[in-house]
Amino acid sequence: MRLERHQETGLKLARWTFGQGPRVVFAHGWNSRGAHGLGFVSPLVDAGFSVTLFDLPGHGDSTGHACSVVHAGRALRAVLADL
């Protein structure tokens, strides 16, 4: 797991990356966490993709106490910019 503070969000966002190749970024649903997407990892890695899972703010291992569509969008943009 990689836990980094992102300037744009001011939060530490947990993320995991598997495999190599064109990247697929998995954003989990509400009241969930990135680990719930692990079932997608093996088939995508076997197909030649790199898969990144991450926890939205206030979810899983990421910091934060609130999350809205705006927070989620900013977090996704921060993770993509870092990749």
pLDDT digits (tens, 9 = 90+) for 18-49: 999 999 999 999 999 999 999 999 999 999 99
Question: What's the mean per-residue pLDDT of the chain?
Answer: 91
Q: DSSP readout, the chain?
A: -EEEE-TTT-SEEEEEEESSSSEEEEE--TT--GGGGHHHHHHHHHTT-EEEEEPPTTSTTS--S---HHHHHHHHHHHHHH-
| Dist CA 16 CA 5 (whole Å) | 15
In this prediction, residue 3 has a pLDDT band, given cuts at 50, 70 and 90, of confident
Look at residue 8 in the predicted model and tell me its pLDDT: 66
